[in-house]
Structure 1
Amino acid sequence: MTDDLLGRHRSVLPDWLALYYEEPIEITHGEGRHVWDSEGNRYLDFFGGILTTMTAHALPEITKAVSEQAGRIVHSSTLYLNRQMVELAERIAKLSGIPDARVFFTTSGTEANDTALLLATTYRRSNTVLAMRNSYHGRSFSSVGITGNRGWSPTSLSPLQTLYVHGGVRTRGPFADLDDYDFVAACVDDLKDLLGHTRPPAALIAEPIQGVGGFTSPPDGLYAAFREVLHERGILWIADEVQTGWGRTGEHFWGWQAHGRSGPPDMLTFAKGIGNGMSIGGVVARSEIMNCLDANSISTFGGTQITMAAGLANLTYLLEHDLQGNARRVGGLLIERLRAVAAQVPAVREVRGRGLMIGIELSRPGTDEADPEAASAVLEAAREGGLLIGKGGGHDTSALRIAPPLSLNVAEAEEGAEILDRALRSIR
């Protein structure tokens, strides 16, 4: 990437628009699980544009669908019938597990969560929302207000009253030393106590696996236990599936299914991977919740013909090629390989995750103190070795985030693990 483009970026775009790497790169094209920069360097992509390129770069089936649709019509708005939008909504409603589901399309996960908050607060006539500590739900005024991660919450002003609940991070906090059963029990007791001190909230919004928070998660069943408490009080459960959905965790199609003994959530939000890079987000909700608004609304760019064509082609490919199963198999091998590496690197505090959603948390050796400098150093070393990964975490961005396209094969997983092995050992 030339200095000129970086200088132009800095002169016209916001200072808070983060760029990776000491020498930022311009990605010009991709194919499969690889991308190339403007200098001709080839990288194995283990981050997929922040989990958006879920299937593969330049996948012919999706490229063909987008190209053919672009030759007919790109956009007409929700004021007109849209066959592609109806077809994709039908498929997502059925896959969601939510009974009598309705689907509303947006352009992003932020907008999807914003819509879910609007629906929940209107339906429940309450502006109080429960959210998880270490959470991230977007960058709009309302979604920033329910984000429990200091690094991504630039203001304390909010139209909502937000109360933060324990449980999203298994290995930190006051309950970290408990076993899984007692951890869940303690979090449930904390939730009950919290509800005894406040007016009834509209909803709990929670990521089954916290994305920006560093791919942390509670023990299976926590949100099912929460749901029982919430259901008794009429409080809604919103599963933020923006990063976990569509089979990425391997074991389940949706993240909420790891906590499913009490049934599906009242609402789920989605985005990122379903478009494989196209701007698709949305909300799935029971009909009485979705239909609770008593004013007109539209979505100018939500559900355009071209994005819906991409989503339909992507979902078809995902299901027909069992990419969920591939995420389980290849992701399992990758996690085992990375844990073997981590056992020899004192700076690695934990390797966690499921399927192709893996976090590596770094700390100063011999302590639980987060080490963001080490995370940045590994990010740089991985890029130099030909691998793109991400960063995250609620403790000063000390976790590495690994989320390749779900079509990753075993050879590519091994290649990426070898590069990460060298990068991690470089900080010893």
Structure 2
Amino acid sequence: MEQLGIGIGWRPEIAAAVEELPGVDWVEVVAENLCPGHLPESLRRLRRRGVTVIPHGVSLGIGGAERPDTGRLAALAERALLLESPLVTEHIAFVRAGGPLTASPPLEAGHLLPVPRTRDALRVLCENVRVAQDSLPVPLALENIAALISWPGEELTEGQFLAELVERTGVRLLIDVANLHTNHVNRGEDPAAALDELPVEAIAYVHVAGGMEKDGVWHDTHAHPVTRPVLDVLAELRARVDPPGVLLERDDAFPPAAELAGELTAIRATLSGRHPLPRPVSAPVARAAAPAAAPAVDPARQRLALAETALLSSLVAGTPAPDGFDNRRLGVQSRSLAAKRADVVAKVAPELPELLGAEYRRAFLAYARSRPMSGGYRRDALDFVQQLLDTGRPADAAVRRALRRWWQERAAPHPPTRTARLARAARRTLVRGTRRGVGTT
């Protein structure tokens, strides 16, 4: 397995810092944020220096009941070839549900949700992984995710679930030690026990990230410093295997370059084995025989589809919670998903918080409570503005006119011309000045 070394997640906000940080051997980039025809110059410079770049997908939903979307797989393959990457990575999660298997409207979570650790879910996941592997030009590695909620009636531990997945498919693993810590706090799962059951020889690389605890729930924010307990889990993993690569993730509230360098130094110190833990003797993991070929209509897929749709509908559409879930945790997860939507829409459509000011977040969260996402974040932004306009909001007529122009320009079949974009920018400046009480002549 390729030795990657120490890496950091490349983000546009810290592109310059990443280029200057000492001892960065490789970077990871969110695959969906790359436009193949317009690769950022910072990534071009890193590649010319020999820095490996790995695309990390977030929207495939390989743990969903439907087979992986061919368009999303083709996009991942395109980015792997563009970057000459040794592998691509994704998450063991579902991100959408509903649709033909349940004869219900499609729903999107806008975030990663855990799959149930059941035999049905494992069987479907293995089939989906094989489809993905056949479509990609390089090996695939899958990441364990952080979770706020637990599925009732699970049949396997996390370690057993991942071990069987590897045995049946040969897929590699991306182990996020911060997510193991998150699941320790939120679900009472022992990270050391999970590591004991893992096939550590399948690890392609490791993620390290920060988070925060609030009201007894750990939030995997990627916007806070890496904590000591997360580094302790990294030390536990290092006691079992020398991972081919370790990467620091940061997605928001970016600190100065010196703080990022300090976190990378802490990771290196943890990996150095200065305080090695005793190497445990791993217990053998029970291996299930490979399942027989699935029938034309797969009951396992249908059962998984119904379960995931019921859960997602309760989280984003306010339908009754499925039996066996913790209602308080479902509430935390639901609010987290809505907040995530608001944050991402603000990034993909930065004009909206500019125009609406302090009212943006309150208005968007009210919209999210009544309108599940079903077409991606850009569609979500358009639907949000349309709902505002349909209900005669906001009260400021100038802002309403600006929002209507914004919506019309983006809802048209063709993007606006350069002249239209310049005129729109001038109008936004005028509206902002009016809202701040600045006079014009």
Given the two structures, how large is their TM-score scaled by the length of structure 1? 0.32
User: Which protein has greater RCO, CA pairs closer than 8 Å, 6+ apart?
Assistant: 1
Report the structure, 1 or 2, having the larger helix content.
Answer: 2
